[in-house]
Amino acid sequence: MKKLLGLLAALAVMLALVMSVPSIRTASFWQAFVEPGPLSTAHGFLQGDCSGCHVSIEGVQAARCISCHANETALLQRQPTAFHSSIETCVECHREHEGDAGLRSAMDHQALATLGLRLLARAPEGSEARLLYSHLFAHGPAGSASAGTAGFANTPQAQLLDCYGCHQSRDRHEGQFGRECGSCHRTAQWTIPEYSHPPPSSTDCAQCHRAPPSHYMGHFEMVSKRVAGVEHANVEQCYLCHQTTSWNDIKSVGLYDHH
């Protein structure tokens, strides 16, 4: 008991000494004292101003972020990043007090799926969204630290992601395979190890490949057919002129650059 009283007395003396120094009584001193790490360069002007982002007890509020970033029209109008307009939180992907490394630009698909689950959980009981949430929740959380990105790619929660909504501007299939990217691709990598291209003898090229716009214009009749020496080919008969090594590897011509 005496030791405890002695410790309390010592702490009281230290507090009295600290509070006797005017500069230490300021809020900025105590904020700097408990600050967990440096801010990013972009947010450096908020150094020492915790209330610029944090709310007492509740922590970081998305409303504080939005108050500064609501006018980021370039971000909200660009197709790959337009989804930010419907995201109700920021800290899952953009972290501060880790320097510039915290405000990462790499996409965290697992974090997006977790946010999607959170929105579904708020849906009214009996609604289709709530039923979907119950189904997904029955399969466990959206990935885990031990499973990693590759593990998450194969979970039911990964199906929550609207891949096409962000990647349509880079759709190499040009819409021919629809919007369900997840039926073939995974978030860990776009390549499909199991895929094997049909042999050169295949004649179903148009099933997957769409001809360029020039093939639907006079250029196809006046230039393309004549170069390849196949005057009676139609647009869907890719195999009559092209080879599987490269699109500009023309039969009987070789690598052809028409520009």
Span 130-187, pLDDT tens digits:
888 887 777 665 544 444 555 676 677 777 788 888 888 888 888 888 888 888 888 7
- This prediction has a pTM of 0.59
Q: What is the mean pLDDT of residues 9-28?
A: 56
d(CA 246, CA 66) in angstroms, rounded, equals 48
Quote the pLDDT of residue 242. Answer: 92
Quote the pLDDT of residue 111. Answer: 83
**Side chain identity at 104, as an amino acid letter?**
R
| Average pLDDT over the chain, rounded to an integer | 79
Structural tokens at position 74 = 């370039």
pLDDT interval class at 16 (50, 70, 90): low
Which range is least confidently modeled, 84-88, 95-99, 192-196?
A: 84-88
144: left (phi over 0), alpha (psi -120 to 50) or beta: beta
- For 46, 77, 87, 99, 153, the CA distances from 103, given in Å and listed in that order, are 15, 20, 16, 8, 23
Quote the pLDDT of residue 191. Answer: 85
Higher pLDDT, 2 or 89: 89
- The alpha carbon dihedral of 223, 228, 231, 233 has a sign of negative
Q: What is the mean pLDDT of residues 83-106?
A: 79
Quote the pLDDT of residue 237. Answer: 93
**Predicted confidence (pLDDT) at residue 122 exceeds the cutoff of 50:** yes
Which range is least confidently modeled, 39-43, 111-115, 140-144, 253-257?
A: 140-144
DSSP 107: -
Q: What is the mean pLDDT of residues 18-23?
A: 55
Quote the pLDDT of residue 2. Answer: 65
d(CA 77, CA 85) in angstroms, rounded, equals 9
